[in-house]
């Protein structure tokens, strides 16, 4: 893994349906080289899977994230964690802290899942928060049309499927497919999920961070430190950023430099060492949502 791989992953998260050529133009590589890099990430085992899932609000669910500190034998507990109700993501960082995100329909369901997770971890969560990056900025847009669902059935587990192929499989025109995909992305109704195996990074460190700041100028200073923003927030003003380092010492030096920036309200950094995405559960929710619609009534648009 190298900085070019990191740059490509950042672009894939920002624009999951972008062509290899367009990604290449942004990372100063040819489209052929980008495609080769992505294939190598799969073959090496670093990239385990790519998904494009709806925001949980689309399922009439609400996201919650729980953080458990210093979990003993955290990796061995991942299979049991993934079986707990409503769990979607679970990540373990280099200090054995375990971060779990759930999509729950009610506060009662949230509490029930939290109790179960605490039993599995054998420690209580030190904090719980709402991952705002999983919410569309306009909650009134947290609904899909029947056409949206028909398209989602095909691109959720294969987000790079061509518009032409989606058109053939859905019997919708290419123009309609493109229009609806562009709309879902622009409204932040879709969330790209990349499943990496960080043990395959061969000594390189990929990390994620959340910065809350006072003005947009602060973000420019963060980017000057080679932090790459992939999602943005408006309330509060902030961004989720990815970083790449050669060593833990480099990461610690970066944190100290960030702390010296005027206008930083908070900055948290996590170095994931592994995790799980419960894709079968999310894909089942997608199928259940699709089944509520009479898809047979579609006409070609």
Looking at residue 296, its pLDDT comes to: 44
Domain tally for the chain?
A: 1
In a domain, 52, yes or no: no
pLDDT tier for residue 80 given thresholds of 50, 70 and 90: very high
Examine residue 236 and say whether the peptide bond preceding it is cis (omega within 30 degrees of 0): yes
In a domain, 206, yes or no: no
For residues 209 and 260, is the Cβ–Cβ distance under 8 A? no
43-69 residue pLDDT tens: 888 877 777 888 888 878 889 999 999
106-161 residue pLDDT tens: 999 999 999 999 999 999 998 888 776 676 666 555 678 888 888 888 888 777 78
189-248 residue pLDDT tens: 887 777 777 667 666 788 888 889 999 999 999 999 988 887 777 767 888 888 888 888
In a domain, 132, yes or no: no
What's the CATH code of the domain at 37? 1.10.10
- Mention every residue, 6+ apart, whose C-beta is less than 8 A from residue 130: 62, 63, 64, 65
pTM for this one?
0.75
271-288 residue pLDDT tens: 877 788 888 898 888 878
Looking at residue 167, its pLDDT comes to: 93
Looking at residue 138, its pLDDT comes to: 62
- Mention every residue, 6+ apart, whose C-beta is less than 8 A from residue 111: none
In a domain, 19, yes or no: yes
In a domain, 3, yes or no: yes
In a domain, 36, yes or no: yes
- Distance between CA 292 and CA 188 in Å, rounded? 23
In a domain, 13, yes or no: yes
Residue 39 lies in domain: 1-44
In a domain, 156, yes or no: no
């Amino acid at each position: 893994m190298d900085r070019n791989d990191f740059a490509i992953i950042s672009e894939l998260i920002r624009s999951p349906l972008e062509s290899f050529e367009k990604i290449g133009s942004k990372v100063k590589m040819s489209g052929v080289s980008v495609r080769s890099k992505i294939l190598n990430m799969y073959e090496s085992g670093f990239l385990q899977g790519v998904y494009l899932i709806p925001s949980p609000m689309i399922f009439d669910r609400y996201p919650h994230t729980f953080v458990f500190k210093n979990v003993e034998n955290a990796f061995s507990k991942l299979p049991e964690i993934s079986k707990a109700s409503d769990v979607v993501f679970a990540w373990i960082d280099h200090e054995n802290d375990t971060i779990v995100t759930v999509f729950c329909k009610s506060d009662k369901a949230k509490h029930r899942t939290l109790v179960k997770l605490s039993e599995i971890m054998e420690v209580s969560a030190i904090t719980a928060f709402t991952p705002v990056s999983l919410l569309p900025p306009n909650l009134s847009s947290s609904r899909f049309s029947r056409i949206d669902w028909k398209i989602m059935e095909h691109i959720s587990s294969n987000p790079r499927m061509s518009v032409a192929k989606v058109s053939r499989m859905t019997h919708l025109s290419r123009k309609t497919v493109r229009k609806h995909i562009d709309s879902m992305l622009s409204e932040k109704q879709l969330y790209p999920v990349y499943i990496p195996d960080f043990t395959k990074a061969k000594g390189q460190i990929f990390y994620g961070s959340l910065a809350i700041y006072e003005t947009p100028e602060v973000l420019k200073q963060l980017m000057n430190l080679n932090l790459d923003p992939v999602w943005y927030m408006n309330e509060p003003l902030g961004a989720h950023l990815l970083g790449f380092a050669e060593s833990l010492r480099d990461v610690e030096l970066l944190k100290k430099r960030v702390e010296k920036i005027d206008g930083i309200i908070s900055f948290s950094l996590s170095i994931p060492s592994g995790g799980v995405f419960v894709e079968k559960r999310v894909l089942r929710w997608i199928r259940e949502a699709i089944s509520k619609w009479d898809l047979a009534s579609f006409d070609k648009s």
